[in-house]
Amino acid sequence: MVLCALVYSDSYQGYELSPSHPMKPARLMLTYELMRAYGLFDGGVAVIEPRAATEDELALVHDRDYIAKVRELSQPGAPAGAGAGWGLGTGDNPIFPRMHEASALIAGASITAAAWVMKESPGHAFNMAGGLHHALSNKASGFCVYNDAAIAIAWLKKHYGARALYLDFDAHHGDGVQYAFEADPDVLTVSFHESGMYLFPGTGFTNERGRGAGSGYAVNLPLPPGSADGELIEAFDALVPPLARAFRPDIIVTQDGCDAHWSDPLSHLALTLAGYRALFERQQRLAHELTGGRWLALGGGGYQAYTSVPRIWTILLEVMAGRKLDDTLPEEWRRLCARFEAGAVPRRLNEDDSPEAPVAESERVRASVRRSVDEIISGVPAELRAAL
């Protein structure tokens, strides 16, 4: 019985914001090819072709006027400046050909993955092109046109009445998903990210806790620069399992961006490949404990595109599939990677050369994270706090 699915299409390459943009679609192709070279699709992992999200599905999160504007600007000859006020036509979110079609496919892929998870028991599914968590209801933001994570959760609520636990580990705050559900007590959003004092989007502080009926159901842990495996895993263990057990989700949705890795050029965190593996293993255990294995994993950031991203997401699928891969990277993949990567191509899946932080700096970072954990505990609703 197949218990794990990868939703993938070569058409993901159409989500290219510009040839010089840091979010390179080739990272998705290289990840898929590494998974294939390892034989992950030879048994145990189903590869599923996605479909595009419909306008009604996009409208679960996005204003119809915004969707219409994205469609309009996707056509050849769209006037310059027409995206002003919509977050489009900027350095982060340039207008590109067939922008609506490429973005709707990624949103539909996350729905496809969500539907697969709900029909299988236990079911894990991964959409590596997803995790575009910054897009707002009426505005593109942070490389994201449509917010596939929020759309998939809204779809799960509509079709299954599902309570969703959303865990976001991107280096950047999962602001768009938080805002989509900040008044909804049936969605618990938890975001671990580099502090907004240092990094886009400048939000995600511990005092952001939701509003109205959802007050306390948004949890944010801003990490100081230099935060590494120890700080993140310690905070995860202190917060996530007890909150999840008290919340009792029907499905766990994770945003597993790779830009918290120490080598990423756009952030200042210091996770290693071993740290990511430990994080993925915790996600899987929690899904099996609380949701019958229902786990929807999404991609996200990751700008060391050719070496770190493919290995991190291959480790994720390895964990999801319950496989043990050889540490030596397949030579055919290394040759493919060398066509894109100007520097040295890694030889091992788990090879990592993270620089050691000074002891005093590590203690300062850990103390800061512990203070944030204490602030979070004081701000969650009583029905969740009792578990902490």
Measure the CA–CA gap between 179 and 185, rounded to whole angstroms: 13
Task: Read off the pTM.
Answer: 0.97
CATH of the domain at 70: 3.40.800.20
pLDDT for residue 1 is more than 70 = no
Confidence of residue 81 (pLDDT cuts 50, 70, 90): confident
How many domains does one find in the chain?
1
Q: What is the pLDDT of residues 207-221, one digit of tens each?
A: 999 999 999 999 999
Could you write out the DSSP letters of every residue in 161-173? ---EEEEE-SSS-
One of 62, 134, 173, 193 is an active-site residue; which one?
Answer: 173
pLDDT at 79: 79
Number of residues that this document lists for the chain: 388
Structure tokens at 24: 């390179």
Average pLDDT over residues 123-140: 97
**DSSP code of residue 46:** E
pLDDT for residue 361 is more than 80 = no
pLDDT at 185: 97
Structural domain harbouring 53: 4-385
Q: What is the pLDDT of residues 263-319, one digit of tens each?
A: 999 999 999 999 999 999 999 999 999 999 999 999 999 999 999 999 999 999 999
pLDDT at 2: 61
Structure tokens at 146: 């449509």
Please state which of the ranges 140-149, 284-293, 298-307, 377-386 shows the lowest mean pLDDT: 377-386
pLDDT at 255: 99
Q: Are 9 and 50 in contact (CB under 8 A)?
A: yes
Average pLDDT over residues 130-138: 98
pLDDT at 103: 98
Measure the CA–CA gap between 3 and 138, rounded to whole angstroms: 36
pLDDT at 211: 97
Confidence of residue 161 (pLDDT cuts 50, 70, 90): very high
pLDDT at 354: 81
pLDDT at 121: 66
Confidence of residue 360 (pLDDT cuts 50, 70, 90): confident
Residues 6+ apart with CB under 8 A from 382: none
Average pLDDT over residues 19-41: 97
Q: What is the pLDDT of residues 162-171, one digit of tens each?
A: 999 999 999 9
Number of C-alpha atoms within 13 angstroms, CB side, residue 70?
A: 28
Q: What is the pLDDT of residues 34-75, one digit of tens each?
A: 999 999 999 889 999 999 999 999 999 999 999 999 999 999
- Residue 367, amino acid: A
Alpha helices in 291-358 (DSSP H): 308-321, 331-338
Task: Indicate the average pLDDT of the chain.
Answer: 95
pLDDT for residue 226 is more than 70 = yes
Confidence of residue 178 (pLDDT cuts 50, 70, 90): very high
133: annotated active-site residue? no
Please state, in angstroms and as integers, the Cα–Cα distance from residue 354 to each residue in 164, 224, 363, 369, following that order.
Answer: 34, 17, 17, 20
